[in-house]
Structure 1
Amino acid sequence: MDINQLEPKSVWKNFANLNAVPRASKKEERVIAFMKQFGERLGLETFSDDIGNVIIRKPSSPGLEHKKMVTLQSHLDMVHQKNADTEFDFDTQGIEMFVDDDWVKAKGTTLGADNGMGVAAIMALLESETIEHPPLEALFTIDEETGMTGAFGLKGGILKGEILLNLDTEEDDEIDIGCAGGIDVTATRSYNQKESVHGDVGLEITVKGLKGGHSGMDIIKGLGNANKIMNRLLYMGLPYNMRIAYLEGGSLRNAIPRESVCHLNIGKKSVAEFTLKFEELSRAIKNELLVQEPNLHIVLKEMKPAKKVMGLGAQGKLIKALYGAQNGVYAMSASIGGLVETSNNIAKVIVKEGEITVGCLTRSSVDTAKLDLASSLRSVFELAGFQVTFSGAYPGWNPNPNSQILTIAKETYTNLFKHEPRVIACHAGLECGILGQNYPEIDMISFGPTIWGAHSPDERVRISSVQKFWKYLLEILKHTP
């Protein structure tokens, strides 16, 4: 079925048009131009700020000029991830989508529903000539996924809205009123490369088939982390005098790593016993993760031995540091049931050509707890001889249960769907916390359609949920003060 034939057609049409434009984080030049052309073509007030955010304003429907201006906000960038066997160039190709029952998916790549569905809904509102609405202000931010640069760079005094609807959550029965803050933790060190021993056997270890997903929203699911699984296998191999030549796992900090590959050398006499222990541990790991990760594959095969390998000292410190570093849920919220308070994702590990880089994303709804866990990671890696830096810190969003727009949203949802929504705070970075710094008086909530597997090639958006989300959004706009 053609995406453009799905209902609501105006939303899906705009989503398809948006997905034809490459829009990786920090490479948003084309999508910024696309969005400015869209607003200008409609004859609406359209401009971009100094950082690259695009703002489009639309006057109210006749007779609704007295209502408060509503700012509709979504981010333009998307996470670019693909399966290892998928041939795709994100810099030049548009996302290839298809319909599967009640879902829209992409062919081997991320879909961009996060946050493209929110962008498309706002576009549909801006171009509509029939939908009644209050004064509207669309805020399309950049680089949300890898630094929230757009939200950080938005200066005070630009926005005119008194209510902000962030359209960037992923379960259609939720209204979000709070989120976690985050900080990037990066550990680096160099190591001496040693000449390989003549006669050593080369081996390649591959961990693949994991689900991956959002390192905040999905961290509670206990999914496998390819970097931690690989490191567990390497730790097992320490007594066999193996020597790492190359290691690379994961990519983006906000994505749970799905794959890892390691090249190593090992003495010919140790291969048989190492292989036996490797197979035993692989079976154990797959059994432990059988429910969460039924498609996990751990593969060992022989390859040409590497000419240079890591020194044993640096290798041992790396493996033990990664073993000791916290990954996954660190603490649950004491005030909101079922909410992860603090977590860490060991997102990326690279070992090659004498340099090691480990990239983590630490999150918490409590700023002091975020810094506490980040300091714990710093301590582990510094003990192993790494240099550790903190960067990209952003604040959380403190819930306001007395929000006027929250009351309206709850009542509207209950009247429409005959049951109450779930009012939550989420363990992910939403731009609301940052926007609230320069716009402390703006009244904010966040909601959106059901999206599964965000930040992974398994990303999908539920078609019936988009219909529900669109109906809900229009009804909220009818009842704003």
Structure 2
Amino acid sequence: MNETIRTLAPKEVWNKFADLNAVPRPSKKEERVIQFMMDFGNNLHLKTIKDKVGNVIITKPATKGFENRKAIVMQSHLDMVHQKNNDTNFDFDTQGIEMFVDGDWVRAKGTTLGADNGLGVATIMAILESKTIRHPKIEALFTIDEETGMTGAMGLEGGVLTGDILLNLDTEEDDEIGVGCAGGIDITATKKYSEVPAPEDAITYNLTVKGLQGGHSGMDIIKGLGNANKMMNRLLYATRNVMHIAEVKGGSLRNAIPRESIAKVAVVKGQEHAFISELKNIKDEIINEYLSLEPDLEIVIEKDIRAVAKVMGQVEQQDFLRAMSAALNGVYRMSPSIQDLVETSNNIAKVTLVDGKVMVEHLTRSSVESSKEDLANNLQSVFEMAGFEVSFSGEYPGWEPNMNSAILKVLHKLYVDINGEEPNVAACHAGLECGILGQNYPAMDMISFGPTIKGAHSPDERASISSLQKYWKFVLKILENIPKK
């Protein structure tokens, strides 16, 4: 299946992508891909180092005639989001990604593709391996753990890199030149609750929300897609007076809009009719609301012959459901200065309620620090009023746009010359590593670009074949036009 990918143009990039996708590389489990990249650099007889947190840096001297150009850092992250469809049997810890061609798209079989940011990694690998591509001195920076904390970028020390210009290859529209991004903060609300015996002769029901698109919790948040955790809470809230919650499990990763949620509830015998009636009403309302956005949405109600022994206390159940109802999910504020840019948002990413403990995990993003703090305080207040403990972690800064950037002017001119049209120079609502890297390298001129990738962070992730060809041509021209020292 992956052999077909190797025949696509540009072969040098697709072959490296196929090599990379054969290596399991979920976030926080990058040991194998780190070793893969160390072996790659050493086999090319290039200076290859691993820093104390696991980032890999491979240095390639300038080609003949380019020694007087500014040195560049080409940067992409090694890890990938691991998401799969509920009916897909796949182990991200042991298996390589199974890819196939679908028209102009490369997709994966029931899982995320890893084009985010694997195509950036493969691009850099192809350049490092080439004996014909002309370029200035390159420091190839392969960071770890971008998707679940950006700890690689945070752990990169100042003074390790000497490049003047950073080319970040993690933008997902081929007509976009990225000049800024949002910062983020992880918010976690936890609470221990009292478990009480389930009502005698209670009937157990399993509720499932599935079939949602999911997607990138930054780039896709503006689309208003369904959030399985919020949908499940609406089902539970509507039936709160006739059921008792035993378990809730929804979502998986902070940076992915949750696609599925499952709940187990106990219904007192004799109240089944009221439960089913209320449930069907709210089910129909949700499906109708999302008909155009989420055509594959399914809400399944199944009776379970296995009785539950313990359920959440009724008062704590009410507090939990009210907090989940009040907590904002989606866009909080649009940018007043950049058209169509989300300034601040929140993703209620993961909900786990089982065995006397409930945890609600969020990722809040913003390009404005004060707005990020405002929304974080808002969410903290909502959950603390319901008796939760709230903690903040994993905070990282945004990347402030510099419209006077010298490398921006180079890329803008080249894009127009090559494509005969203006690029979209923009900031994005995703979290790129440029803001973090800029803390230790404030003088480095930074820019971001990449090929078109759709559906990142979901099993619908796909990479455009024609776009990669367009992007590769752009990359080669950029390398030839890096300014002199």
TM-score (norm 2): 0.98
Q: Which of residues 412, 433, 436 is equivalent to 2:435?
A: 433
Query: Cα distance, 1:418 vs. partner?
Result: 0.4
Query: Cα distance, 1:35 vs. partner?
Result: 0.2
Question: Corresponding residue for 1:11?
Answer: 13
Secondary structure of residue in 2 paired with 1:269: coil
Cα deviation per residue 1:93-142 (whole Å; 9 max; x = unaligned)?
00000000000000011100000000000000000001111111100000
Give the AA of the match of 2:102. D
Give the AA of the match of 1:129. K
1:90 pairs with 2:92 = yes
Give the AA of the match of 2:232. M
Aligned partners of 1:268 and 1:14: how far apart in 2? 60
1:327 pairs with 2:329 = yes
Query: Cα distance, 1:79 vs. partner?
Result: 0.4
Query: Conserved in 2, the CA contact under 8 Å of 1:332 and 1:341?
Result: yes
Give the AA of the match of 1:316. Q
Aligned partners of 1:307 and 1:350: how far apart in 2? 18
Question: Corresponding residue for 1:165?
Answer: 167
Secondary structure of residue in 1 paired with 2:20: helix
Secondary structure of residue in 2 paired with 1:2: helix
Secondary structure of residue in 2 paired with 1:253: coil
Aligned partners of 2:386 and 2:315: how far apart in 1? 10
1:29 pairs with 2:59 = no
Q: Which of residues 443, 447, 450 is equivalent to 2:449?
A: 447
Query: Cα distance, 1:160 vs. partner?
Result: 1.0
Cα deviation per residue 1:17-47 (whole Å; 9 max; x = unaligned)?
0000011111111100000100010011110
Question: Corresponding residue for 1:253?
Answer: 254
List runs of 5+ in structure 2 lacking aligned partners.
Answer: none
Alignment of 1:265-344 (within 5 A): 265-303=266-304, 304-344=306-346
Aligned partners of 1:24 and 1:312: how far apart in 2? 39
Secondary structure of residue in 2 paired with 1:268: coil
Aligned partners of 1:321 and 1:305: how far apart in 2? 28
Q: Which of residues 417, 420, 426 is equivalent to 2:419?
A: 417
Query: Cα distance, 1:171 vs. partner?
Result: 0.5
Cα deviation per residue 1:399-425 (whole Å; 9 max; x = unaligned)?
000000000000000000000100000
Question: Corresponding residue for 1:175?
Answer: 177
Query: Conserved in 2, the CA contact under 8 Å of 1:187 and 1:388?
Result: yes
Query: Conserved in 2, the CA contact under 8 Å of 1:264 and 1:305?
Result: no
Give the AA of the match of 2:480. K
Cα deviation per residue 1:320-369 (whole Å; 9 max; x = unaligned)?
00000010000000010000000000000000000000000000000111
Give the AA of the match of 2:79. D
Secondary structure of residue in 2 paired with 1:239: coil
Query: Cα distance, 1:305 vs. partner?
Result: 2.4
Query: Cα distance, 1:277 vs. partner?
Result: 1.8
Q: Which of residues 151, 156, 167 is equivalent to 2:158?
A: 156
Alignment of 1:38-57 (within 5 A): 38-57=40-59
1:468 pairs with 2:470 = yes
Cα deviation per residue 1:269-305 (whole Å; 9 max; x = unaligned)?
1111221221121111111111110100001010022
Cα deviation per residue 1:231-265 (whole Å; 9 max; x = unaligned)?
0111100122x100010000100000000000000
Secondary structure of residue in 2 paired with 1:440: coil
Question: Corresponding residue for 1:244?
Answer: 245
Secondary structure of residue in 2 paired with 1:343: strand
Aligned partners of 2:462 and 2:450: how far apart in 1? 13
List runs of 5+ in structure 1 lacking aligned partners.
Answer: none
Q: Which of residues 113, 126, 133 is equivalent to 2:128?
A: 126
Cα deviation per residue 1:164-207 (whole Å; 9 max; x = unaligned)?
00000110000000000000000000011111111111001000
Aligned partners of 2:89 and 2:121: how far apart in 1? 27
Give the AA of the match of 1:23. R
Aligned partners of 2:415 and 2:288: how far apart in 1? 42
Aligned partners of 2:172 and 2:282: how far apart in 1? 36
Question: Corresponding residue for 1:184?
Answer: 186
Give the AA of the match of 1:358. V
Give the AA of the match of 1:281. I
Give the AA of the match of 2:139. E
Give the AA of the match of 1:243. H
Aligned partners of 1:63 and 1:106: how far apart in 2? 41
Secondary structure of residue in 1 paired with 2:171: coil
Query: Cα distance, 1:310 vs. partner?
Result: 0.5
Cα deviation per residue 1:3-27 (whole Å; 9 max; x = unaligned)?
0000000100000000000111111
Q: Which of residues 467, 477, 480 is equivalent to 2:479?
A: 477
Aligned partners of 1:59 and 1:70: how far apart in 2? 11
1:226 pairs with 2:228 = yes
Aligned partners of 1:134 and 1:278: how far apart in 2? 63
Secondary structure of residue in 2 paired with 1:381: helix
Aligned partners of 2:316 and 2:122: how far apart in 1? 49
Secondary structure of residue in 2 paired with 1:299: strand
Secondary structure of residue in 1 paired with 2:6: helix
Moved over 3 A (4+): none
TM-score (norm 1): 0.99
Give the AA of the match of 1:261. I
Give the AA of the match of 2:300. V
1:104 pairs with 2:106 = yes
Alignment: residue pair count: 480
Give the AA of the match of 1:425. A
Query: Conserved in 2, the CA contact under 8 Å of 1:203 and 1:305?
Result: no
Aligned partners of 2:134 and 2:185: how far apart in 1? 41
Question: Corresponding residue for 1:138?
Answer: 140
Secondary structure of residue in 1 paired with 2:180: strand
Root mean square deviation, CA, Å: 0.7
Aligned partners of 2:205 and 2:158: how far apart in 1? 56
